[in-house]
Amino acid sequence: MRYNNKIAIKVLLIIFAALFNATAFAAQNTTLTPKVEDAKNNTSNPSAIVEPSKSTKVPTALEIIINQQKAFVAYADFPKIAFNPTKPVKNPLTVYKLKNIVHTLPILDGLTRLHLQTLSKKKSVIAGLNIWKKERKMLKRKLILNNYKSLWFENNILNSAKANEILNTINNAEAFALRPVLYKASNIQSLIEISKTKIKPEWLKIPNSSQILNEMRLDDALNQLALNNAKLELALTHASFAYSRHASSGQIIPSSVDVNNNVHPVPTSTTAILKNIEALNKPGELQNWLELQNPQDSQFKALLAEYKIQSTKDQEYVKPVIISKGKTLKPGTKSKRIIKLAMRLEQLGFYSKTADTKYPNQYNKYIIAGVKDYQTSKGLKADGIVGSITIRSLNYKKPNRIKALLVNLERQRWMPKKMGYKHVLVNLAEFRLRIVEGGDVTHTARVVIGRNKFQTPIFHNKIRTVVVNPYWNIPNSIIYNEMRKKINSDPSYLARNNYETIGNISWEKATKRYVPFRIRQKPGPRNALGRVKFLFPNRHAIYLHDTPSKSLFSRSSRAFSHGCVRVQNPELLALNLMGWSKKRFNSIVKSGRNSHFAIKKKIPVYLTYVTAGVDKKGKMQYFRDVYKRDNAVANAIGVKQIMQQIASRNKAVNEKSTTQINSIIATEKTKNTL
């Protein structure tokens, strides 16, 4: 019975819908003709302006304009009158035949809004100017709430001053190491030029003649102008979105170029962008606000200043003096290679040859000082000895400095705006840990990071716990891949290395991801984690810890671990974070007990990968790309194209500079007895 009732209801609904559509179709073929006198006498009711009357003739766009000019109630007087078509229409000129549109808008404004409704659903109105789905959603919501009212036009006239501020911001993007081409300035400029077209006054004087309308093609002209204005509206807003996002959080999503990068930068909110586009009307305000979305920290500013210097210096593109491979150069050594060493140090600003001094062929005190300064700037061991690592660094071509600067400016955008008054900063590429308090470095330590096969990931977290006399719970992969053979071949292996098992040893179901028993190393001086570890729970099972292998800290390149970060002098880090005395720490260590201590105020920790930075004295430092991560970032942000532009602008690597260098080398060879 219930089933039959449902069928009956459905049939009635279908009949009712058919009747409703027929009525709507009849209404659509009704001409809306304004009654001028009625409108004048009843201005408080905008709907009184129009009155349906049956006619076979459908009004043209021009007829509507003429009638509206005769009896038009200003849109400003009725800001809340709905302009919300139930669905986009293929031909915007049919907007005035829609039942739910009230005739209170000039036709150009109405058409523009209808185009906005349709275009706002698309990814972008200009190819290549892409915005995020979230941004598109927020903009659409804003447009709907405002009845598709423009942010950039007023009374169908473009706010040229504000639009030019967007263009100026885009064209000045290179000053902040961003590419103007990403924001399609030339396309926006073309749309602006078209938008300057206005309805000609004589159009409104043309009599009601469909023949003249066809000759003038006014319907098409209005439609194209409205479409252009809608495109320009969205293009300006989209460009603002893209620039703000790139400036505040980077041009790329970090994980898209590096699976080991788990940082999630937070861009400027879309709400804030829309709010400021609307609110900032004084000259220069909008451009200033947009450019302030770039990082304001000292590290970013220093990198940007260096980038500007390097990208405008012609000598940056002089072919570098290459030091050939050979024996290690030490103090007291005599070699013709020392001439090239001195010349290369001079190119890099670490050695100065006065007019009355020739380039030396002996490793003297001035060369030693220059080499040590250079090694310090690169994070190398400053011993004044030029071995293979130092030579490789010296032979590093200078144009790659621009690459390193651009890559690390991008990385700097990924960092949070507020890092905390006190935080721990680990630069994996530098093999160094720092404690920063109020912007000042209060403690530094060397670190050992994961070797290439077990790269230490990049992420941000908070240190919550300090563990003294820790157990080392050995990962399944290490048990299966590295310990299995040793355990099977040597029954005393576990006891001899202070390991203990939890559960019975069985390899039948074991894999590198699953082992049906646990092995851990007991606390003690030989424990792989040393005497202390610092925990910040994360899915990578990464933490900071001590190590019994102290000798590795003396090496220049320190990528030896399974992924965790080993810290030199970890007791100093513990004392700093916990506020303990050395005496208290030592007493806890001597007890031998596995002890966990919660940090009252969790300390932010940032595992970063920076290959170019500035030290506390403001001196530039470049570090070896130990994990080879720079290229992926460089390719993604278009470093090659930027360097080509710079090289073209500065007339890079010319034959004249190469000839000059060869001439100097030849002259010095004749001066010195080699």
Count of other CB atoms within 10 angstroms of residue 246: 23
CA dihedral 52, 55, 57, 62 (to 10 degrees): -30
Task: Return the H-helix or E-strand segment holding 181.
Answer: none
Instruction: Tell me whether residue 235 is exposed, middle or buried, using C-beta atoms within 10 angstroms of its C-beta: 0 to 12, 13 to 18, 19 or more.
Output: buried
Asked if residue 450 lies in contact with residue 456, where contact means CB atoms within 8 angstroms, the answer is yes
Asked if residue 254 lies in contact with residue 261, where contact means CB atoms within 8 angstroms, the answer is yes
Q: 88 φ, ψ to 5°?
A: -60, 145
Q: Is 246 a catalytic residue?
A: no
Residue labelled with tokens 């590295």: 482
Q: Give the C-alpha separation, 296 to 439, whole Å.
A: 13
Asked if residue 501 lies in contact with residue 486, where contact means CB atoms within 8 angstroms, the answer is no
* DSSP state, residue 199: -
* DSSP state, residue 654: -
Residue labelled with tokens 């007791």: 571
Tokens of 29: 């073929």
Q: Looking at 103, 423, 460, 564, which residue is catalytic?
A: 564
Asked if residue 249 lies in contact with residue 298, where contact means CB atoms within 8 angstroms, the answer is no
For β-strands 595-608 and 422-427, DSSP reports them as parallel
Q: Give the C-alpha separation, 115 to 652, whole Å.
A: 48
Q: Looking at 103, 246, 460, 545, which residue is catalytic?
A: 545
Nearest to 378 by CA among 359, 360, 391, 365: 391
Q: Is 545 a catalytic residue?
A: yes
Q: Give the C-alpha separation, 156 to 226, whole Å.
A: 9
Tokens of 76: 């400003």
Instruction: Tell me whether residue 2 is exposed, middle or buried, using C-beta atoms within 10 angstroms of its C-beta: 0 to 12, 13 to 18, 19 or more.
Output: exposed
Per DSSP (E only), the strands in 327-470 are 422-427, 432-437, 440-450, 459-468
Q: Give the C-alpha separation, 538 to 133, whole Å.
A: 29
Beta bridge partners of 545: 533, 566
SS3 424: strand
Nearest to 121 by CA among 98, 141, 100, 147: 141
Q: Give the C-alpha separation, 145 to 148, whole Å.
A: 7
Cβ burial 16-44 (10 Å sphere, 16+ → b, else e): eeeeeeeeeeeeeeebbebbeeebeeeee
Asked if residue 466 lies in contact with residue 532, where contact means CB atoms within 8 angstroms, the answer is yes
Q: Which residues are designated catalytic?
A: 545, 564
